């Protein structure tokens, strides 16, 4: 752990040791799907249903954003498996005394801390929103870093470096995808499908936004259960 990260963790420890109300708030923000990614999904839905002269272009940008999120979260999960393992700060015996959140430590998963998949997803969403509206996008980034991601460092879920790397991944993937030519064909097909088969489209649209808002928890639980069943059969 770098000296700068240790300095930040010690500062946060001094705050958390004397701020039970702030601790509760950070715990709420970090573990509440609506306050985290749900707010960002709501902003995308606002733009999707907004009636103005740029409606079609905004919908194309939203499609780009949703696809970028799928790619980004897949890359983020891959990186947690190929990068050197780093234990979460709250689970590190050398640092656990700094965190008055033993109940959190007991329920935390032991996956690699690097990079933060929350940072990957949140910044991918925020970048997509920024490409739609610079003003709302900047406010979204402030919300993401000031509330959503700060809380994860505060509670010891991640080191600042985990957030930094995850953010770079999320931002870059959204920017890169928004500039590749194949997106135009995909957008046209998705928009055509949304017009010709609106019922099916909006069911799938809702499910995708729901999964993004909940960090794909339902899908991951199903896949984990399926993998467990297959392992026992073998």
DSSP 144: I
Give the Cα separation of 6 and 15 in Å (integer). 14
Could you read off the pLDDT of 90-133 as tens digits, one per residue? 776 666 555 555 555 555 556 787 889 899 999 999 999 999 99
CA atoms 165, 169, 170, 176: torsion sign: positive
Give the Cα separation of 84 and 44 in Å (integer). 35
pLDDT at 176: 94
Q: For the purposes of burial, counting CB atoms within 10 Å of the CB of 107, is it exposed (0-12), middle (13-18) or buried (19 or more)?
A: exposed
pLDDT at 94: 65
Picking from 47, 51, 69, the residue whose alpha carbon sits closest to that of residue 59 is 47
Calculate the CA 94 to chain-centre distance. Answer: 28
Could you read off the pLDDT of 145-178 as tens digits, one per residue? 988 898 888 888 888 889 999 999 999 999 999 9
Q: For the purposes of burial, counting CB atoms within 10 Å of the CB of 177, is it exposed (0-12), middle (13-18) or buried (19 or more)?
A: buried
pLDDT at 68: 94
pLDDT of residue 45 exceeding 90, the answer is yes
Q: By the 8 A CB rule, do 104 and 152 touch? A: no
Q: What torsion, rounded to 10 degrees, do the Cα atoms 211, 107, 82, 5 define?
A: 110
Domains identified in the chain and CATH numbers? 3-233 (1.20.144)
Q: By the 8 A CB rule, do 86 and 112 touch? A: yes
């Amino acid at each position: 752990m770098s000296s700068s990260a240790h300095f930040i963790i010690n500062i946060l420890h001094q705050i958390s040791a004397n701020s039970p109300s702030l601790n509760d708030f950070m715990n709420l923000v970090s573990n509440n799907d609506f306050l985290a990614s749900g707010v960002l999904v709501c902003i995308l839905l606002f733009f999707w249903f907004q009636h103005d002269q740029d409606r079609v272009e905004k919908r194309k940008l939203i499609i780009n954003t949703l696809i970028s999120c799928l790619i980004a979260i897949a890359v983020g999960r891959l990186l947690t498996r190929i990068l050197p393992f780093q234990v979460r700060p709250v689970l590190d015996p050398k640092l656990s005394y700094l965190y008055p959140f033993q109940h959190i430590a007991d329920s935390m998963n032991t996956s690699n801390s690097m990079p933060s998949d929350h940072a990957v997803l949140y910044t991918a969403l925020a970048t997509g929103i920024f490409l739609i509206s610079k003003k709302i996008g900047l406010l979204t980034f402030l919300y993401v870093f000031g509330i959503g991601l700060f809380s994860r460092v505060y509670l010891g879920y991640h080191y600042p470096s985990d957030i930094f790397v995850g953010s770079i991944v999320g931002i870059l993937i959204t920017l890169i995808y928004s500039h590749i030519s194949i997106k135009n064909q995909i957008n046209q097909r998705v928009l055509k499908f949304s017009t010709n088969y609106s019922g099916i489209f909006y069911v799938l649209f809702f499910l995708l936004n729901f999964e993004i808002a909940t960090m794909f928890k339902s899908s991951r639980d199903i896949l984990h259960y399926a993998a467990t069943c297959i392992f026992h059969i073998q």
